[in-house]
């Protein structure tokens, strides 16, 4: 397997139309594999409102686009809080680019970008077993 050349760019409001279909594909793929549903994700995942709710209104939230070369393949939102106990809000990768180290390399980028952080929190559905494995690999308990 060839390693992807990843780059990360800060996400802003003008990126929402481009990242939303990728988020939809990522969450729908999980819903199909794990729940037997055609689609499913958090509120607003399929129309951009997720970003308008969780990224744009808060000074503490930072979003990054994940690119493989020039191709947009995913995104991440983190919350950088003053006390140093931060939140991984979401990470999503286009299903066509999964199992190629994108998630792990993205987490390494976040740790490198925010080395002063005391701790990270996150939430993931109980049924998303692959997510649990991924987060454990990244050092979460």
Percent of the chain with pLDDT over 90: 45
The answer to whether the CB of 125 falls within 8 A of the CB of 131 is yes
Q: Got the DSSP string for 83-108?
A: TSEEEEEEEEE-GGGTTSSHHHHHHH
Nearby residues of 106 by Cβ (< 8 Å), 6 or more positions away: 6, 8, 66, 74, 76, 91, 93
Per-residue pLDDT tens over the stretch 70-101: 999 999 999 998 888 888 888 899 999 988 88
* pTM across the whole model: 0.85
């Amino acid at each position: 397997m060839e390693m992807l050349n990843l780059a990360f760019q800060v996400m802003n409001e003008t990126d929402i139309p481009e990242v939303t279909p990728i988020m939809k594909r990522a969450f729908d793929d999980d819903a199909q594999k794990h729940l037997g549903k055609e689609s499913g994700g958090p509120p607003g995942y399929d129309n951009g409102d997720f970003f308008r709710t969780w990224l744009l209104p808060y000074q503490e939230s930072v979003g990054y686009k994940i690119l493989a070369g020039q191709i947009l393949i995913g995104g991440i939102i983190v919350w950088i809080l003053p006390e140093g106990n931060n939140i991984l809000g979401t990470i999503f990768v286009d299903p066509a680019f999964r199992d190629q180290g994108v998630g792990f390399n993205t987490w390494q980028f976040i740790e490198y970008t925010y080395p002063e952080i005391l701790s990270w929190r996150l939430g993931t559905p109980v049924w998303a077993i692959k997510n649990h494995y991924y987060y454990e690999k990244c050092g979460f308990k």
